[in-house]
């Protein structure tokens, strides 16, 4: 699988293009985020007012049009692109690249991840060691799990049944352009969602969801019992 099958680096992130080859495996992009940020002069735009409750640590670039909340924590290295909104309580924890017009939501944590243009992560999510394609969306409480319980290297079962060993101990999710995961879904380590693929709410998803498909776990109809109080 090539990264180009899932997403295309947008013009807002063209400065990083040499680090993210379209023909590379999508999980290889995760390992290039730190290198892409290395050596850049990362400081907030001088015209951007920084609220007193915003803690910035290390090398952090914030475009002048970034919308900051009254409180959040941003640890570098990090690069946050134009028109992105950071909401209260967000925790950006190093090696994070964010494109244009994104939402980094309240009480969400981001670590070693690349978010392309128009990504929406509005509420209570964890995004670690992940790639989120253009206009992808995580519903409230979606978790991009990045570490196996046995802490062995992450493997991915492809749609043809082949199992690929990524060689990576920590690897989160890779969402293609316009892919979505519903509220409280858990994307297991190495989960891949093709372009416009959807994972239903409350679904523990592993493996690969092909483009333009919907993944859900069928559940029995609810049962109702009379109250006895």
pTM of the model: 0.94
94-144: pLDDT as tens digits = 999 999 999 999 999 999 999 999 999 999 999 999 999 999 999 999 999
Number of domains present in the structure of the chain:
1
Catalytic amino acids?
Answer: 123
Give the closest residue to 24 by CA, choosing from 131, 109, 119, 96.
Answer: 131
In this prediction, residue 143 carries a pLDDT of: 98
- Is there a domain that residue 220 lies in? no
Q: 202-227 pLDDT, tens per residue?
A: 999 999 999 999 999 877 677 788 87
Residue 134 is part of which domain span?
A: 3-212
What is the predicted pLDDT for the residue at 1? 94
Residues in the chain: 229
- Show the CA angle centred on residue 113, arms to residues 112 and 115, nearest 5°: 155
* Mean pLDDT of the 81-86 span: 98
pLDDT tens-place string over residues 160-196? 999 999 999 999 999 999 999 999 999 999 999 999 9
Structural domain includes residue 229 = no
Nearest CA to 1 out of 188, 119, 160, 189 is that of 160
Domain-located, residue 37: yes
SS (H, E, C) 158-211: CCCCCEEECCCCECCCEECCCCEECCCCEECCCCEECCCCEECCCCEECCEECC
Query: For residue 85, is it within any domain?
Result: yes
What single-letter DSSP state applies at residue 36?
H
Q: Which residues contact 61 (CB under 8 A, 6 or more apart)?
A: 40, 41, 42, 43, 44, 45, 78, 79, 80
Whether omega for the bond prior to residue 77 falls within 30 degrees of 0, making it cis, is yes
- Residue 219 in any domain: the answer is no
What pLDDT, on the 0 to 100 scale, is given for residue 221?
75
Structural domain contains residue 191: yes
In a domain, 221, yes or no: no
Question: Does residue 225 form part of some domain?
Answer: no
| Sequence-distant (≥ 6) Cβ neighbours of residue 115 within 8 angstroms | 96, 97, 98, 99, 102, 104, 121, 127, 132
CATH at residue 85: 2.160.10.10
At 222 the pLDDT is 75
CB atoms within 10 A of CB 67: 12
């Amino acid at each position: 699988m090539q990264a180009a099958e899932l997403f295309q680096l947008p013009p807002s992130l063209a400065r990083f293009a040499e680090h993210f080859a379209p023909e590379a495996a999508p999980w290889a992009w995760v390992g290039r985020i730190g290198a892409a940020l290395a050596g850049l002069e990362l400081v907030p735009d001088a015209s951007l007012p920084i609220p007193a409750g915003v803690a910035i640590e290390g090398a952090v670039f914030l475009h002048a049009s970034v919308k900051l909340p009254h409180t959040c924590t941003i640890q570098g290295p990090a690069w946050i692109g134009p028109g992105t909104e950071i909401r209260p309580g967000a925790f950006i924890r190093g090696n994070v690249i964010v494109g244009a017009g994104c939402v980094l939501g309240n009480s969400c944590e981001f670590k070693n991840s690349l978010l392309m243009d128009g990504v929406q992560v509005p509420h209570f999510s964890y995004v670690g060691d992940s790639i989120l394609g253009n206009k992808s969306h995580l519903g409230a409480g979606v978790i991009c799990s990045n570490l196996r319980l046995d802490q062995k290297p992450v493997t991915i079962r492809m749609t043809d049944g082949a199992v690929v060993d990524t060689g990576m101990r920590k690897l989160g999710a890779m969402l293609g352009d316009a892919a979505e995961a519903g509220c409280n879904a858990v994307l297991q380590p190495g989960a891949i969602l093709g372009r416009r693929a959807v994972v239903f709410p409350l679904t523990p998803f592993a493996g690969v969801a092909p483009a333009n498909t919907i993944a859900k776990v069928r559940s029995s109809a609810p049962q109702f019992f009379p109250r006895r109080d």
